[in-house]
A and B are shown apart, each in its own frame.
Chain A
Amino acid sequence: MAANGEKHKVSCAMDHIIQAQMKGEISEENVLYIVENINVAAIETTLWSMEWAIAELVNHPTVQRKIRDEIRAVLKGSPVTESNLHELPYLQATIKETLRLHTPIPLLVPHMNLEEAKLGGFTIPKESKVVVNAWWLANNPEWWEKPSEFRPERFLEEERDTEAIVGGKVDFRFLPFGVGRRSCPGIILAMPILGLIVARLVSNFEMIAPPGMEKIDVSEKGGQFSLHIASHSTVVFKPIKA
């Protein structure tokens, strides 16, 4: 109990949160629910995206090769770190393409209007559940070229100005983290974490389907919110000699 004591020393996030409770800003219960939110909203969603990214990379060896070549050409042997991720546009495009095709929360977290509201000429009765089909916005063939193809190049070519952002000059066809007040604040952690792990794996290994299989199964399975890969992939990691 008295591990941290009266002079509450602040090092990790929980220390800040407990400090806010000690100042009377939030209750002890709120502290618990912050931990609950991080456990489900931050960890699981990012894990689904990693599984999708790896599955697509196994099925698209050329994409792996291009990421590897980019890292080699740009960083000339130094490791990929958070501070040099922005120098690797093809890697970033691969992450965006994964989130576009396999939006982990395809209908975003549902919204609700406390009062009756108007939308596109319709009356939305109060307390309706309102969902934005973010997956469809990013996969509608009217707005995207061959949307069912996994092709990171699109984000360097015809979609080079389309960014994964939650504010500012947003392209409303691409909202993997939502946008505005209720958008996912975790974007600031998720994008670099996804970029770094893909870079680490691709620079160290050739990722291939297990013996006897050509491709990895990328069928999807959904729940009330989530979109994950139906069967967790088995992947062979062949070390690349440094």
Chain B
Amino acid sequence: MFGNWLQVGNDLNHRLLASMSQTYGPVFLLKLGSKNLAVVSDPELANQVLHTQGVEFGSRPRNVVFDIFTGNGQDMVFTIYGEHWRKMRRIMTLPFFTNKVVNQYSTSWEQEMDLVVDDLRANEKVRTEGIVIRKRLQLMLYNIMYRMMFDAKFQSQEDPLFVQATRFNSERSRLAQSFEYNYGDFIPWLRPFLRGYLNKCRDLQQRRLAFFNNYYIEKRR
């Protein structure tokens, strides 16, 4: 019923899996409740999974939480390999992932970076006590991406839309990254106990997508 799950625990991180590969070899299979996990720890086998047998291994596993955050695979990153994925990848490549886009936007990236430098130079505290640099860089990266995506930007770290966007995204990351929901994912008959967790995910996702839609997408229509 539990397979190897009780033996290996929840936190199957890169270091634990690396040390297991020294005992169990370059590829090994774990049974986590009703799910199988294959771990690849060798360059040649990585080549097979990602390249030579890229089509066979080209899908993404589903889980109860990611089903909510991707609308059952309506996105690009987590959807299965096939027509829908190919179309999404093509449509996203043109406006985001080409050299032309890099040339078109790199000046705006540099502007956002210069603003960081100005802010750091202007603040006396930064050169004595120091600051938690993450927050300022987060604003910079949001502005870099939101300028590319929506031709929009946030005024400051206190901008209410910035506060909203970062709150929604970090809550989404927390709920999706947590190990808390593994039990209901691995063992189907425990799933009813996840109802509260999944409702929280659904509620967040609904409010979050409405936010993107109302404040950004609709403005471009």
Cα distance A131–B29 when bound, in Å? 10
B66 nearest CB neighbor, chain A only:
A224
Which residues of chain A are near B58, meaning CB under 8 Å?
111, 181-182
Report the minimum CB–CB distance from B19 to chain A (whole Å).
9
Q: Mark A182-201, 1 if CB is under 8 A from B, else 0.
A: 11011011001100110011
Q: Are A113 and B48 in contact (CB under 8 A)?
A: no
Main SS at interface, chain A: mixed
Cα distance A201–B116 when bound, in Å? 9
Interface residues of A in 86-135 (CB under 8 A from B): 103, 106-107, 109-115, 117, 119-120, 122, 124-125, 127-135
State whether A41 and B11 are in contact (beta carbons under 8 Å apart), knowing that A36-B212, A193-B144 are contacts in the complex. Answer: no
Report the minimum CB–CB distance from A12 to chain B (whole Å).
4
Which residues of chain A are near B43, meaning CB under 8 Å?
137, 143, 171-173
Q: Mark A210-224, 1 if CB is under 8 A from B, else 0.
A: 110000000000111
Number of A-B pairs whose CB atoms are under 8 Å? Answer: 344
- Contact among A3, A124, A181, A192 for B102, CB-based, below 8 A: A192
Q: Are B47 and A13 in contact (CB under 8 A)?
A: no
Decide yes or no whether B74 CB sits under 8 A from chain A.
Answer: yes
Which residues of chain B are near A172, meaning CB under 8 Å?
43-44, 46-47
Bin chain A's interface residue count.
35 or more
Q: Mark B31-73, 1 if CB is under 8 A from A, else 0.
A: 0000111111111111111110111111111100000011100
- Contact among B44, B151, B173 for A11, CB-based, below 8 A: B151
Decide yes or no whether A236 CB sits under 8 A from chain B.
Answer: yes
Q: Are A13 and B148 in contact (CB under 8 A)?
A: yes
Q: How many residues of chain B get a CB closer than 8 Å to chain A's CBs?
A: 109
Interface residues of B in 107-122 (CB under 8 A from A): 109-110, 113-114, 116-117, 120-121
B62 nearest CB neighbor, chain A only:
A112
Q: Are A1 and B218 in contact (CB under 8 A)?
A: yes
Decide yes or no whether B96 CB sits under 8 A from chain A.
Answer: yes
Report the minimum CB–CB distance from A63 to chain B (whole Å).
17
Can you pick out 20 interface pairs between chain A and chain B where the beta carbons lie within 8 Å of each other? A12-B95, A12-B149, A34-B91, A38-B145, A39-B165, A43-B142, A111-B58, A111-B59, A120-B48, A124-B29, A127-B36, A128-B36, A129-B37, A133-B18, A179-B51, A192-B102, A197-B113, A234-B131, A235-B130, A237-B130
Interface residues of A (CB under 8 A from B): 1-4, 11-18, 20, 25-27, 29-44, 46-47, 50-51, 54, 79, 81-83, 103, 106-107, 109-115, 117, 119-120, 122, 124-125, 127-137, 139-140, 143, 170-173, 175, 178-183, 185-186, 188-189, 192-193, 196-197, 200-201, 204-205, 209-211, 222-227, 232-239
